[in-house]
Structure 1
Amino acid sequence: MKVFSSPAVKKALDEVIIMFGQETGVSIEAVFEPTGQLLRRIDAGESFDVMIAVTESFGPLTTVVDPHTLTSVARSGIGVAVKHGAPEPDISTAESFVQTLRAARSVAYSGVGASGAYFTALLGKLGLSEEVGARATVVDKGYVAQAVVTGNADVAIQQLSELLFVPEAQIVGPFPAELQHYTEFSAAVSAQASDPDQAQAFVNFLTSAPAQTAYTQSSLELPTAPAQ
């Protein structure tokens, strides 16, 4: 079975896939790419059985996936990381967060992921597009926290669950509550799934207690409500 998935849930999904395989004997090939890139694969005609992506992205895909199978699985907030051992900046309030962005030599964020799209818009709302955006490090591939490890940036911005993938980086914490943004991820069965029942069984497993434990252990949160 082939699963398209956002990398934001990779750490948890790696474990969930193993558990599902042990329970069912089903082998899964997982492709982890940002939602935008997964959509480009679909537009190019690549087949898959289950897709896990930003919930809103399923809107235009009513002929590609079975909309009746759409299931919320987890959500992720955005966080801040610095190089391991570096002083941790104050991000406890909106004001201190803004000061941290202004003081950074460069702020790294994703150029293709949901966190980067939100952060770009947030810079505009805070009036920091020129001051901070002009010296930003935009990462179009891989995990953003690598930029603080290599010294290309002082601060990294990405989904908390993705910051975990760079152990040489130190997670400072989530955005302050008044600036936080949650991205919800849902799963759906492909309209052309090779085995729809098997694919549905996997989607169901994504909401099981073992799967939910894997989410919370990887800085993901459970969704506040089912996808509509």
Structure 2
Amino acid sequence: MPNRSIVMMSGLATRKAFDDHLFAAFTERTGVEVVPVYDPTVQLLRRLDAGEHFDVMIAATPSLDALIVNGVVAEGPRPIVRSGIGLAVARGAEHPTITTRDDLLATLVAARSVAYSRTGQSGIYFVDLMKRLGVEDVVLPKATVLEKGFTATALESGEADLAVQQLSELLFVPGAEIVGPLPEELQKWTEFSAGTAAVSAENADVAAFVDFISSPEAAHAYRVTALEPVPSGLLS
């Protein structure tokens, strides 16, 4: 059993890549166990305000800026992946057409209920998008709103017939099928970076982990979990 460990806080978008592929490979190679704490970025920031410890944070890149200024995260966070937003339906359900702006609007307006996460990056963007497209009064009142977590669980329970979230998060739920990404003109790409805690900046195990999840070897794990490696972070 590993006798060394580090704590990684992360948003949900990268969870499947880490849980299914990267943790085991890193521990086997180094003997270092990674203890994960998963929450949407907004919730992670609240955990930090409450004094929780971490060694590495995987979060939407812009959210790390204030943490660097405040001395919580060390300079030079490492971009690792970016994630797009998509829609899912329950497994076996008919897939609506969402290839164009008009297709997507018609699908959302006709839906019985769309599930989104109140504190997730995708949910925050979805609410803003509905307002910009002028359909907030139609789509949002009948939406199924999760405080956090995987929105496609609302498909399994029957609460909603559509779920919107990062594609990698939709992939996490066995009872869901991804319809596809949002049309490119409406897409919101979110870049995620690995930030090292200032108090862990000299920790060799932490540095090794950041190097590993930024490596070409990690790129495959990201791609098979619907994430796109960031070219500046991963060369492969």
Range with greater deviation from structure 2 (80-89 or 195-204) = 195-204
Is the 8 Å Cα contact of residues 39 and 148 (structure 2) preserved in structure 1? no
Identity within the alignment, %: 48
Mapped partners of 1:212, 1:224: distance in 2: 10
Flag structure 2 segments of 5+ consecutive residues without an equivalent.
Answer: 1-5
2:160 corresponds in structure 1 to: 153
Q: Equivalent residue of 1:156, what SS?
A: strand
Q: Which residue identity lines up with residue 12 of structure 2 in the other structure?
A: P
Task: Work out whether 1:219 is the aligned partner of 2:226.
Answer: yes
Mapped partners of 2:190, 2:224: distance in 1: 17
Residue deviations 1:81-120 (CA, integer Å, cap 9, x gap): 0111111111011100000001001111111100001111
1:6 corresponds in structure 2 to: 11
Q: State the TM-score, normalizing by the size of structure 1.
A: 0.95
How far is the alpha carbon of 1:224 from its aligned partner?
Answer: 4.6
Task: Work out whether 1:103 is the aligned partner of 2:107.
Answer: no
Q: Equivalent residue of 1:67, what SS?
A: coil
Flag structure 1 segments of 5+ consecutive residues without an equivalent.
Answer: none
Q: Which residue identity lines up with residue 67 of structure 2 in the other structure?
A: L
Q: Equivalent residue of 1:130, what SS?
A: helix
Q: Which residue identity lines up with residue 50 of structure 1 in the other structure?
A: V
Residue deviations 1:36-79 (CA, integer Å, cap 9, x gap): 111111111111111111101101101101013x0000010001
Q: Which residue identity lines up with residue 8 of structure 2 in the other structure?
A: V
2:92 corresponds in structure 1 to: 85
Which one of the candidate residues 109, 118, 130 is aligned to 1:123? 130
Mapped partners of 2:214, 2:175: distance in 1: 31
1:45 corresponds in structure 2 to: 51
How far is the alpha carbon of 1:17 from its aligned partner?
Answer: 1.3
Q: State the TM-score, normalizing by the size of structure 2.
A: 0.92
1:154-173 → structure 2 map (5 Å cutoff): 154-173=161-180
How many residues of Structure 1 are paired with residues of Structure 2 in the alignment? 225
Mapped partners of 1:72, 1:38: distance in 2: 18
Which one of the candidate residues 40, 43, 47 is aligned to 1:34? 40
How far is the alpha carbon of 1:188 from its aligned partner?
Answer: 1.2
Which one of the candidate residues 71, 79, 91 is aligned to 1:72? 79
Mapped partners of 1:144, 1:195: distance in 2: 38
Is the 8 Å Cα contact of residues 189 and 196 (structure 1) preserved in structure 2? no
Is the 8 Å Cα contact of residues 78 and 159 (structure 1) preserved in structure 2? yes
